[in-house]
Amino acid sequence: AQPTCPIDALKLGACVDVLGGLIHIGIGGSAKQTCCPLLHGLVDLDAAICLCTTIKLKLLNINIILPIALQVLVDDCGKYPPKDFKCPS
């Protein structure tokens, strides 16, 4: 079975919106404040899966946003998805 997000992925919409903005403004504090509380309590892999799900729901370019999302997960939220993590297709 494919891994799925254990929370309502739409709750991460604000987080993904901030990540989308980071492409233009660079990594900032707002990603940490917006994303980390939403991902709190999820194991590392689930947090990454949820971000994938939300990025897809918002029809954003996963190839651009996912690397930023993973960087925020590791640097700001202290979550460590598998090294070569890719979103399930």
Chain segment 29-76, per-residue pLDDT in tens: 688 889 999 999 999 999 999 999 999 999 888 898 999 899 999 999
Count the domains in the chain: 1
45 lies in some domain: yes
Sign of CA dihedral 57, 6, 31, 76: negative
Domain assignment of residue 1, yes or no: no
pLDDT digits (tens, 9 = 90+) for 2-31: 789 999 988 899 999 888 876 665 555 688
86: in domain: no
pLDDT for the residue numbered 73: 93
Q: Is residue 34 part of a domain?
A: yes
Evaluate whether residue 40 is within a structural domain: yes
Q: How confident is the model at residue 24, as a pLDDT?
A: 61
